Amino acid sequence: MKKKQLKAIDFFCSIGGMTYGFRKAGIDVIAGIDVDLSCKETYEFNNPTSKFIEADIKDYSIEELKKETSIKRNDDNLIFIGCSPCQYWSIIKTDKTKSEETKNLISYFQKFIEYFKPGYVVVENVPGILRNADESGLNGFIQSLKNMEYTVIFDKLNANHYGVPQNRKRFVLIASRTNKKIELPKPQKNNPPILKNFIGKENGFKSISAGNKDNSDFMHTTANLSELNLERVRKTKHNGGTRLDWKNDDNLQLKCYINKDNSFKDIYGRMSWDKPSPTITTKFYSISNGRFVHPEEDRPISIREGATIQTFPKSYSFKEKSIGKVAKHIGNAVPPKLARKIAYNIINK
C-alpha cells in the first residue's frame, strides 16, 4: 500500500532513466517534463503510465503543472525529481557556450518545490554542481529546503556501487519534509559489476563490425570507421589496450599527441572485460571521444551496448533513428538501476 501511495513528477525527464527506475521500484511517476520533444516517443513508449509534458521549466508555470497533473500542495507522498542538464558543470573539456543557459536550472526547479512542498525531493547531477555550489545555485537550493524544514542529505556517489557496470560519479541529494531519518542508499563496494557481466556473446550480443546497421529495436548499431582508424583499432591490444600500443607507428600516431602520452589517455582505448567501463558519455559511439572500443572486436561499442552499460533493459526501445541523437539521450540519462536504488531507499525509509 505504501508503494502505491508514493507518486512522483520527473522534471528534466529526458528519455526516462529516472522514471523507469522509480516505476520499477513501485512508485507511480505521474509525468515527466522536458524541453526536448525528441525524447517524447521513447519516454512514453517505455513508460506508458507516465505522461510526457513538453515544456521549458524556465517558462512553465505552477498553474500549468497543477492543471496537467492534478497534484496538490503539501502532499507527503509526492516526490519531485530534478536531474537538470549538467554539461556546463561537467569536468569534460568541451565548449560550454551552448550549455551556459542551462547552468542554473536547479533554481527554476526550486520554485516548484517552494510552492508545492512535496514530501520528498531527489536531485542527481554531475559532481561539478557541488564544486561550484554558489555559482550553480546549489547552495541557495539547499538553504531553501532547510528553511522549509526539509531534512537534506547529499554526497558524491559512484554508480558502480549501485549495480551499474561503469565508473560514473554523480552528485545525489535526497530531502524529506516528513522523515528526519532519510538517508542515501548504501553502496555495495565489494564485487562491483563489471563489463563481462553485461555485454559480449554470453549476454546476447553477437559479433559485428564497425558500421553495422541494425534497424530492429535491439539497435546493435555501430559507427563506421575510416581505414586509418580501423588500423589503429586493430593494433590496439585486446582487453584494455590504449593508443600507446601504436604510438611508434608514424602512420598511426596522432600528431597532436606526440610526446604527450599522459594526455587524454583513454581516447582510442579498448574497454576491459574485468573492469567497469568508463563513464558512458553522449559521444560513446565515437572512439576519439574516450575509451569506447569494444574489448576484443575491432569497432566502437554499439548503441545497445552503451544502453546496457547504462542499465537500460534490452527491451527499452529508442525511437530516434540518428545514432548521435540516441547516444546523446542515453549518455545524458540517469542509469535506471541507480534510480531504482534511490527509489527503494525512499520506500524503505
Joined together, the cell numbers standing for residue 168 give 560514473
- List the one residue out of 87, 79, 114, 112 whose CA is nearest residue 8: 79
Alpha carbons 4 and 244: distance in angstroms, whole number: 54
Write phi, then psi, for 126 (nearest 5 degrees): -75, 150
- List the one residue out of 105, 59, 62, 110 whose CA is nearest residue 86: 105
At 240, is the secondary structure helix, strand, or coil? Answer: coil
Is 256 part of the annotated catalytic residue set? no
Joined together, the cell numbers standing for residue 12 give 528534466
Alpha carbons 32 and 232: distance in angstroms, whole number: 43
* Backbone region of residue 116 per phi and psi (left: phi > 0; alpha: psi in -120 to 50; beta: other values): alpha
- List the one residue out of 287, 310, 313 whose CA is nearest residue 218: 313
Alpha carbons 27 and 29: distance in angstroms, whole number: 6
Catalytic entry in 13, 39, 83, 86? 86
Beta carbons of 78 and 61 less than 8 angstroms apart: no
Q: How many CB atoms lie within 10 A of CB 260?
A: 11
Alpha carbons 298 and 217: distance in angstroms, whole number: 23
Alpha carbons 23 and 313: distance in angstroms, whole number: 13
Alpha carbons 300 and 198: distance in angstroms, whole number: 16
* Residues noted as catalytic: 86
